[in-house]
Structure 1
Amino acid sequence: MIADEASTEFHAFFERHHSELARLAYLLTGEPDAADDLAADAMLALWHRWDRVRRADHPLAYARGVVANLARGRVRSAVRERRRVLLFWQHRTDRVDNPDVASVVDVRSALARLPLRKRACVVLRHAFDLSEKDTALALGISVGTVKSQTAKGMAELEKLLGARVGAELTGRRR
């Protein structure tokens, strides 16, 4: 089998970035099993458009955007499924109103509580240490939206985790 230049480039891209894209998918969905699947689906989508992607100014940013879109679709699907399950079990009488949620909330569960765009901005900015511009490029949104969504997401995380923990996450001092 003779590998052409595009195949070689894609293989190198895959080797360099697959694990990072899987980690991004994990942080966006909170599902370790889904992370590899989403990264693989993203790579397949990239392969199908590789001629266009390889000519792009920022192929990795494009790839991150694909992962974010696939994660968004997965999250939306999960929300729809939860709604269907809730409708099905709504008639049960052993529901608990006002459950005691005074337990410690870890970062992953706190991130899972954020809306996807805020979560994506916070994860890309702080976990992946991307600039506002690179985050905007990856998500297909403006730099101003990245700034506001990141600030709002961090404020929500600080409420969920406490101000001290939120400051530690971002390296800020209070």
Structure 2
Amino acid sequence: MDLDDASAEFHDFFERHHAELARLAHLLTGEAETADDLAADAFVALWHRWDRVRRADRPVAYARGVVTNMARARIRALTRERRRVHLFWTALPGSRAQHHPDVDAVMDVRRALARLPFRKRACVVLRHALDLSEKDTALALGTSVGTVKSQTSKAMAELQRLLGAQAAEELTGTRN
């Protein structure tokens, strides 16, 4: 395959999957303003490995995995930065750093999702927001179907605790 054919094939892949991957990034990070950047970075990485990606059994699953890993890295970096800032301010003499806990009554879905550990959040987002099968979710996360089932179940229980059963059912379109 020459460069023009590969470029056209990649462009078609981009057109078909950009919106979904940007949505995935948004739901995983909770940052609308960052979602397009993460999706764009993922497509750059995919282009650099396009020969390998296009030969994959499920190229879109590969792409979802790239976005998921980039979102995880961003969340970890932001968490480390928040800890450094917090340590800096609390280490200052006379510092009066205050913590304001979330109030369950005003917590929305994004905050509830943000409280879930990353893998559980990713399972819920991929399964319910993107409506992927358990198998496709497992491919995107590089894990087993059993892990997806377990993590999704635990995440839903946590969301029910945080949001209430009715809100969790409305979020996922399920009845428990």
What stretches of structure 1 of length at least 5 have no aligned partner? Answer: none
| Pair 16,148 (structure 1): closer, same or farther in 2 beyond 3 Å | same
Q: TM-score, normalised by structure 2?
A: 0.92
Separation in structure 2 between the aligned mates of residue 4 and residue 99 of structure 1, nearest angstrom: 55
| Pair 63,102 (structure 1): closer, same or farther in 2 beyond 3 Å | closer
| Structure 1 match to 2:166 | 164
Show CA shifts across 1:114-164 (max 9, x none).
111100000000001100000000110010110011011111111110111
Separation in structure 1 between the aligned mates of residue 101 and residue 14 of structure 2, nearest angstrom: 45
| Structure 2 match to 1:57 | 57
Regions of 4+ moved over 6 Å? none
| Structure 1 match to 2:153 | 151
Matched, 1:135 2:137: yes
Aligned length: 172
**1:77-92 alignment to 2 at 5 Å?**
77-91=77-91, 92=95
What is the root-mean-square deviation in Å for CA atoms of aligned residues? 1.6
| AA in 2 matched with 1:64 | R
Show CA shifts across 1:23-70 (max 9, x none).
000000001111111100000000000011011110000000000000
| Structure 2 match to 1:93 | 96
| Pair 127,158 (structure 1): closer, same or farther in 2 beyond 3 Å | same
| Pair 149,102 (structure 1): closer, same or farther in 2 beyond 3 Å | closer
| Structure 2 match to 1:46 | 46
Q: Is the 8 A contact 2:90 2:97 kept in 1?
A: no
Q: How far did residue 172 of structure 1 move?
A: 2.4
Q: How far did residue 103 of structure 1 move?
A: 3.6
Q: How far did residue 104 of structure 1 move?
A: 1.6
Q: TM-score, normalised by structure 1?
A: 0.93
| AA in 1 matched with 2:46 | L
Separation in structure 2 between the aligned mates of residue 100 and residue 59 of structure 1, nearest angstrom: 39
Matched, 1:10 2:10: yes
What stretches of structure 2 of length at least 5 have no aligned partner? Answer: none
- 1:90 aligns to what SS in structure 2? helix
**Sequence identity percentage:** 73
| AA in 2 matched with 1:61 | A
Q: How far did residue 3 of structure 1 move?
A: 6.2
Separation in structure 2 between the aligned mates of residue 144 and residue 29 of structure 1, nearest angstrom: 24
* Range that drifts further, 133-142 or 82-91: 82-91
